[in-house]
C-alpha cells in the first residue's frame, strides 16, 4: 500500500493565520496539531480519547489554546489516517495517569507548533505578534484552571508557548 503524502500550502496557511495586523493564534495551533498528528501517524483512537477526555481532563474550559488543541485532536480523529506511528509519545497520550498524558500532550504541542513556526518562515514582527497573542491567550486560559484538572500546568498552553513551568 502506498502512503498518501499531503503537503500543506504554507502560503495559504500563513494568510489564514495573519490578517493584516491581527493574528489568529488558534488557527496556528490547530494547523500545527493537524499536520503533526498526521505526520507522526498518531493512532486515531488515541487522538479521539485525548479530544473527548475519555481518560480524564486534558483541557481547561474556555481557554482558546486548549480549544484549538482539542479541535486539532478531534478533527484528526475524525479525518486522520495513521499510516505509521513515528512518535513514542502516543503511548503516553493513552495513559490513565493525568501527569503522563499531560506531559505527552505538552511535548507534542510544543514539537508541532515549533515545526510549523519554522515552516512558515515568519518575519521577526510576525513571530513577535504570534508570541504575544499566545502569551495573552495562555494567561487568560491559565486563570480558568482548577484543582479538578489533575496537573499543575496546562499541557496545551505550556506546549504552544514553549513554557517549562
Full pLDDT tens readout for the chain, 165 residues: 344 445 678 888 898 999 878 999 999 999 999 999 988 888 888 999 999 999 889 998 889 999 999 999 999 998 866 555 666 667 888 889 988 999 999 999 999 999 999 999 999 999 999 999 999 999 998 888 877 666 778 899 999 999 875
Show Cβ contacts of residue 98 under 8 Å, excluding neighbours closer than 6 positions: 56, 57, 149, 150, 151
For residue 153 the three cell numbers come to 500546568
**pTM > 0.75: yes or no:** yes
Please tell me the predicted confidence (pLDDT) of residue 62.
85
Please tell me the predicted confidence (pLDDT) of residue 2.
44
Amino acid at each position: 500500500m502506498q502512503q498518501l503524502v499531503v503537503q500543506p500550502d504554507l502560503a495559504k496557511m500563513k494568510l489564514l493565520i495573519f490578517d493584516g495586523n491581527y493574528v489568529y493564534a488558534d488557527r496556528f495551533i490547530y494547523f500545527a496539531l493537524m499536520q503533526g498528528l498526521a505526520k507522526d501517524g498518531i493512532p486515531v483512537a488515541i487522538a479521539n480519547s485525548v479530544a473527548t477526555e475519555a481518560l480524564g481532563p486534558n483541557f481547561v474550559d474556555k481557554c482558546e489554546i486548549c480549544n484549538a488543541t482539542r479541535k486539532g485532536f478531534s478533527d484528526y480523529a475524525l479525518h486522520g489516517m495513521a499510516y505509521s506511528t513515528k512518535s513514542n509519545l502516543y503511548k503516553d497520550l493513552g495513559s490513565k495517569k493525568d501527569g503522563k498524558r499531560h506531559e505527552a500532550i505538552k511535548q507534542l504541542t510544543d514539537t508541532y507548533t515549533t515545526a510549523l513556526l519554522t515552516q512558515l518562515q515568519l518575519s521577526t514582527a510576525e513571530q513577535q505578534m504570534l508570541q504575544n497573542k499566545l502569551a495573552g491567550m495562555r494567561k487568560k486560559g491559565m486563570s480558568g484552571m482548577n484543582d479538578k484538572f489533575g496537573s499543575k500546568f496546562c499541557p496545551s498552553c505550556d506546549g504552544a508557548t514553549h513554557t517549562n513551568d
